[in-house]
Amino acid sequence: MRSYSLATALVALPFITPPSFTRATSELDQRDGDMTIAVTNHYGAPVQLSFGVNAGFPGFRGDPQPTTLDEDATNTYAVPSGWAGRIHVGKVDHPDNSKIEGSFYGAGKGDIDVSYVDGYSVPITCSAGGKVLSGCNIELMDRECNTPDHVSAWGPDGKPALCSNSMRGSDWGPPSAFFAPCAGAAYTFPKDDMANVGMIPETQISCCIGTSCDPSPRQHKRDLRPNAPSLMPRQHKLHRQFHGK
């Protein structure tokens, strides 16, 4: 049997660089009973995150500031009971970006959704307990953002970065043609309430940015070509049934 010294064994081992991790500001202040929202970027490029809190409500733990989320990176944010707010996500920082919205009033009284009511910048879905709760993973920017919607921001690559939603002031919609494929999965008008499953028991939320994220079972499986047949009449019927109208 050959014998090796510790020094010889260490030299023989391949050099392994230990992984490095970054923690979001709010995660440093996480406390028992908080709800956490982990945001992962699979968009294929860095995205910008900024944060909003409803007036009179407590904010995110640690008061996170606008930040860049690198490709394939994850930031986790913690919120206390009584929180209600949003995370803006997009290629540039803009108030009309796609949003992760939620509220939390203790275990079993959490709520999360994805909203394109102000506009669409990147696809997002949010999950908990192994199920997609809200959102739409379709890349809507593959479509044309035309009147009545409009491009309101351009990315560093010179391409449209944001399509603002003309139906933000129309409570019951219907969604414009640009937003229609995500109706009922993400909010595409203020009372597009099929996009929200209501209170959930889980307190660990995972939100994913990109087309490779798990899709919502409620998003439209349709041909996205400009002149393709629309499925919107069926969506309207389901919406009326949901609201009893």
The predicted model gives 156-173 an average pLDDT of: 95
Share of residues in the chain with pLDDT > 90 (%): 73
Dihedral class, residue 36 (left if φ above 0, else alpha if ψ from -120 to 50, else beta) = beta
Q: Is 20 helix (H, G, I), strand (E, B) or coil?
A: coil
Where are the domains positioned within the chain?
Answer: 21-243
Burial level of 149, CB count in 10 A (0-12/13-18/19+)?
Answer: buried
Residue 18, Cβ density class (10 Å: 0-12 exposed, 13-18 middle, ≥19 buried): exposed
Q: Can you give the pLDDT at residue 156?
A: 87
pTM reported for the whole predicted model:
0.81
How many CA atoms lie within 13 Å of 236's alpha carbon, on the beta-carbon side? Answer: 9
Asked if the model's pLDDT at residue 24 lies above 80, the reply is no
Q: Read off the pLDDT of each residue in 149-167 and give the average, rounded to a whole number.
A: 95
What was the pLDDT predicted at 7? 43
Amino acid letter, 40: T
Q: Identity (one letter) of the amino acid at 26?
A: S
* CATH code of the domain occupying 21-243: 2.60.110.10
Provide the mean pLDDT of the chain: 84
21 or 191: whose pLDDT is higher?
A: 191
Name the band, by pLDDT with cuts 50, 70 and 90, for residue 221.
Answer: low
**Mean pLDDT of all residues in 196-212:** 96
